């Protein structure tokens, strides 16, 4: 091709390109709501720049006792898709969706995950039938987090089929990072001597972590922070710490640390640090994403339990 022809051809090419693609398509972004910060992180990773996300219970917030504001009701009514954890985690959420007057698609991110059943306190003493409830803290196992990400991907593809390629690519890229995280969690926990893998936290949020990675967690409060720890439960934990020489108690980012401080005081157990259970930290505090949160937690466990 002669030089002039080449220039003309590239000019025409550039014109054709600019006519066909007037800037990257500014399609309106899909309005999504996530109920709490950890779920919001998953949703943002999968949705990428195709979505506009609002998270209702932000960093450090406790979704168990979340009370929706009128502004939240408007956000839900406005959304095309609402992601919830489900399993009773977001106490008042189902009512909020109904009352909001909108008709968003509601997606239960924990769908299909094998659940851990909890026996609620108090049934054993009178011998009556155990009152079991599913433990909602599924994300504490990375395998479950990956299942949630797959659910989120499928929900976005169904709600916005034009974005299929983007959602699938985003989910695959994020899932690869979660696979690395999961391997690191296993390696880190494996280095802690088995007899020292026993700790106290304030509420029972780490059951899936315990089952997946082999650390025993005991908690004076049940699976929700809604009920106070009973005096009986606290006394039982204190006896257990003494009898089993449990090395450390951990404070949670969403719970009042005073009860744990008192338990540490009475037993001589060390306060091992803060674990993130139900919410991320602010971006500057080292647990602003799910991956950072899990890495923070295993670091704290490893350093408190090492020897």
Binders of Zn ion among 69-88, rule CB under 5 A? none
Q: Of the two residues 61 and 163, which places its CB atom closer to Zn ion in the complex?
A: 61
Alpha helix (H) ranges present in the chain?
3-20, 37-47, 70-78, 93-100, 123-126, 142-159, 164-190, 207-213, 231-244, 258-267, 290-305
Please state, in angstroms and rounded to a whole number, the distance separating the CA atoms of residues 206 and 217: 7
Choose among 91, 304, 288: nearest CA to 197.
304
Q: Does 204 bind Zn ion (CB under 5 A)?
A: no
Size of site (CB under 5 A) for Zn ion: 2
Please, what is the angle between helix 37-47 and helix 142-159, to 10°? 50
Q: Of the two residues 174 and 206, which places its CB atom closer to Zn ion in the complex?
A: 206
Which region among 13-21, 25-33, 140-148, 205-213 touches Zn ion (by CB under 5 A)? 205-213
- Cβ of residue 122: shortest distance to Zn ion, in angstroms? 19
Exposed (0-12), middle (13-18) or buried (19+): which is 95, by Cβ within 10 Å?
A: exposed
- Cβ of residue 214: shortest distance to Zn ion, in angstroms? 21
Q: Which residues contact 274 (CB under 8 A, 6 or more apart)?
A: 250, 251, 252, 253, 300
Q: Does 278 bind Zn ion (CB under 5 A)?
A: yes
Q: Of the two residues 60 and 102, which places its CB atom closer to Zn ion in the complex?
A: 60
Which region among 16-24, 103-111, 149-157, 197-205 touches Zn ion (by CB under 5 A)? 197-205
- Cβ of residue 254: shortest distance to Zn ion, in angstroms? 7
Please state, in angstroms and rounded to a whole number, the distance separating the CA atoms of residues 275 and 256: 13
- Cβ of residue 135: shortest distance to Zn ion, in angstroms? 9
Q: Of the two residues 41 and 278, which places its CB atom closer to Zn ion in the complex?
A: 278
- Cβ of residue 302: shortest distance to Zn ion, in angstroms? 23
Q: How many other CB atoms are found less than 10 A from the CB of residue 176?
A: 10
Residue with tokens 């409830």: 133
Q: What secondary structure letter does DSSP report for 221? A: B
Q: Of the two residues 72 and 278, which places its CB atom closer to Zn ion in the complex?
A: 278
Residue with tokens 């991110």: 109
Q: Of the two residues 182 and 252, which places its CB atom closer to Zn ion in the complex?
A: 252
Q: Does 62 bind Zn ion (CB under 5 A)?
A: no
Which region among 104-112, 193-201, 273-281, 286-294 touches Zn ion (by CB under 5 A)? 273-281
Residues that bind Zn ion (CB under 5 A): 205, 278
């Amino acid at each position: 091709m002669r030089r002039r022809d080449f220039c003309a051809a590239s000019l025409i090419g550039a014109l054709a390109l600019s006519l066909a693609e007037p800037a990257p398509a500014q399609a309106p972004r899909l309005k999504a709501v996530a109920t709490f910060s950890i779920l919001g992180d998953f949703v943002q990773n999968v949705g990428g720049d195709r979505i506009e996300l609002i998270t209702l219970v932000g960093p450090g917030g406790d979704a168990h006792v979340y009370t929706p504001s009128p502004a939240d009701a408007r956000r839900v009514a406005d959304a095309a898709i609402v992601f919830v954890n489900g399993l009773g985690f977001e106490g008042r959420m189902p009512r909020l969706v109904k009352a909001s007057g909108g008709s968003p698609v509601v997606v239960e991110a924990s769908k299909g995950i094998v659940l851990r059943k909890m026996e609620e306190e108090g049934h054993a003493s009178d011998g009556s039938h155990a009152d079991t409830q599913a433990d909602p803290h599924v994300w504490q196992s990375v395998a479950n987090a990956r299942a949630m990400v797959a659910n989120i991907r499928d929900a976005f593809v169904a709600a916005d089929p034009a974005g299929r390629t983007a959602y699938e690519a985003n989910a695959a890229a994020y899932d690869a990072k979660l696979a690395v995280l999961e391997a690191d969690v296993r390696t880190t926990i494996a280095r802690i001597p088995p007899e020292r893998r026993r700790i106290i936290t304030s509420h029972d949020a780490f059951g899936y972590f315990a089952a997946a990675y082999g650390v025993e967690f005991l908690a004076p409060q049940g699976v929700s922070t809604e009920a106070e720890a009973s005096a009986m439960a606290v006394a039982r934990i204190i006896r257990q710490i003494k009898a089993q020489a449990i090395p450390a108690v951990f404070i949670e980012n969403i719970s009042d640390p005073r009860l744990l401080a008192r338990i540490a005081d009475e037993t001589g157990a060390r306060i091992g640090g803060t674990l993130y259970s139900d919410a991320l930290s602010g971006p500057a505090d080292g647990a602003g994403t799910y991956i950072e949160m899990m890495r923070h937690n295993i670091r704290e466990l490893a350093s408190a339990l090492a020897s």
